[in-house]
Amino acid sequence: MVLERTFSIIKPDATRRNLTGKIIAKFEEGGLRVVASKRIHMTRKQAEGFYAVHKDRPFFGELVDFMISGPVVVQVLEGQNAIARNREIMGATDPKKAAPGSIRAEFAESIGENSVHGSDAPETAKDEIAFFFAGSDIVG
């Protein structure tokens, strides 16, 4: 077991439905701690930069439009094996395939509007945290 940090976004479909607290409760009940948090409305440039890895996928334009359609909550979560743990708490990308009790099973509207983002590896977690937070913004 290793104490890790991961990056999370509560997406616009969830902020629109006022689900921020219910989603954070899932992280906390799952053993993760919120060590940085801010509510922002991403610019198109930020969303395109953040999702640059997906720029050649057919849903890229739709994904960027969605991510700037309303406010999001960007967070750093800390805990034992936080990267994998967060992805378990989130559930599969497609809510129809997400495990019962996971955030996406309970709250996601579709494969695109799926309520949360979570980093998928230590390197992406580091880069994604640095994309939105300075070291001094994170208080463990």
Contact residues toward ligand ATP (CB under 6 A) are 54, 59, 62-63, 93, 111-112, 114, 117-118, 120
**What token pair was written down for 134?**
């300075």
**Nearest distance in Å: CB 113, ligand ATP:** 7
Q: Which is nearer to ligand ATP, 37 or 60 (CB)?
A: 60
Q: Please measure the distance between the N-terminal and C-terminal CA atoms of the chain and give it in whole angstroms.
A: 18
The rounded radius of gyration (Å) of the Cα atoms in the chain is 14
Distance of alpha carbon 10 from alpha carbon 70, whole angstroms: 11
Q: For residue 3, which of 32, 36, 38 has the smallest C-alpha distance?
A: 32
Which entry of 5, 26, 85, 117 is annotated as an active-site residue?
Answer: 117
41 is catalytic: no
**Nearest distance in Å: CB 57, ligand ATP:** 7
Q: Which is nearer to ligand ATP, 10 or 36 (CB)?
A: 10
What is the residue whose two structure tokens read 């497609």?
A: 94
Catalytic residues: 117
